[in-house]
């Protein structure tokens, strides 16, 4: 464990609830609490495991960190604070762009997170184009470098997702998430849809990225054995709370 590392992500009293209408559009609203004053710190350069049963709030917390949903409480990256009220005003466009440069996500189903009609080269280059980072030559060089980093060669640039195996798709998803050089990578059940052997390769890739790049990783899973194998520290969540 990296005891002397500074805190990269600080979560203070983060709560979230979903509003549902179980009896239809004109039915009475019901508030379903999901997160209950979650407090958490993740150190720079560590692999932090968040484990718990399905429905405990792990993915909801990840969405709050990514800025995808509103929440009550405070989430701070290094010395920059970003907070948003659950039903109040959400983050503006500028804050969302800033959040995207700080944290990126890898999801459970790599096939669903990749544009099926675009090539791998386009998918990897798109984050740089969207944020207007670098010229064409620089972007293509970075695409080639990223392919090498995630264990694929430059020939994969012209392939489309349907031409890839599940493990290769997940490698591309990881590569796309790293193109903006975020300080934190949130990996939500990234190997649960993969075969055991392929999943082990992806776990080793996460460890390699952590060691080579000093990448901080939030690894979310329901599998305690995987988290114990990969992570420096572990938090257990139950019913929206860290226990």
2 has a pLDDT exceeding 50: yes
Average pLDDT over residues 95-103: 76
pLDDT band at 147; cut points 50, 70, 90 = very high
What range does the domain containing 212 cover? 7-242
Is 21 among the domain residues?
A: yes
121 has a pLDDT exceeding 70: yes
The whole-angstrom separation of Cα 182 and Cα 189 is: 19
Q: What is the mean pLDDT of the chain?
A: 89
196-239 pLDDT, tens digit each: 999 999 999 999 999 999 999 999 999 999 999 999 999 999 99
Helix 166-178 to helix 136-149 angle (10° resolution) is 130
Is 1 among the domain residues?
A: no
Is 104 among the domain residues?
A: yes
Which helix H or strand E contains 184, and what residues bound it?
strand 184-188
Instruction: Give the number of other CB atoms < 10 A from CB of residue 6.
Output: 10
Structure tokens at 80: 């920059």
Q: Is the pTM of this model over 0.85?
A: yes
Question: Cα 9 to chain center, whole Å?
Answer: 13
pLDDT on residue 78: 80
Average pLDDT over residues 8-27: 84
The whole-angstrom separation of Cα 46 and Cα 210 is: 7
Is 211 among the domain residues?
A: yes
Is 2 among the domain residues?
A: no
For the chain, helix (H) and strand (E) counts, in that order, are: 7, 10
Is 137 among the domain residues?
A: yes
Is 68 among the domain residues?
A: yes
Is 27 among the domain residues?
A: yes
22 has a pLDDT exceeding 80: no
Q: What is the CATH number of the domain that holds 145?
A: 3.40.50.300
pLDDT on residue 28: 78
Number of compact structural domains in the chain: 1
């Amino acid at each position: 464990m990296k005891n002397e590392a500074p805190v990269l992500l600080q979560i203070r009293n983060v709560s979230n609830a979903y509003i549902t209408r179980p009896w239809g559009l004109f039915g009475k609203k019901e508030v379903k609490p999901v997160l209950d004053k979650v407090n958490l710190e993740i150190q720079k350069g560590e692999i932090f495991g968040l484990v718990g049963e399905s429905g405990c709030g792990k993915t909801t917390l990840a969405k709050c960190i990514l800025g995808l949903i509103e929440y009550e409480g405070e989430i701070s990256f290094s010395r920059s604070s970003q907070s948003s009220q659950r039903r109040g005003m959400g983050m503006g466009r500028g804050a969302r762009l800033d959040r995207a440069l700080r944290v990126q996500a890898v999801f459970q189903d790599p096939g669903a997170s990749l544009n099926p009609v675009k090539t791998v080269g386009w998918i990897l280059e798109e984050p740089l184009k969207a944020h207007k980072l670098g010229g064409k030559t620089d972007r293509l060089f970075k695409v080639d470098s990223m392919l090498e980093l995630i264990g694929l060669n430059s020939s994969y640039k012209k392939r489309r997702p349907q031409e890839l195996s599940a493990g290769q798709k997940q490698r591309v998803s990881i590569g796309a998430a790293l193109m903006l050089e975020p300080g934190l990578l949130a990996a939500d059940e990234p190997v649960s849809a993969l075969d055991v052997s392929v999943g082990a390769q992806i776990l080793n890739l996460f460890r390699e990225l952590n060691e080579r790049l000093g990448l901080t990783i939030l690894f979310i899973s329901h599998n305690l054995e995987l988290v114990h194998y990969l992570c420096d520290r572990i938090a257990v969540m139950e019913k929206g709370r860290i226990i």
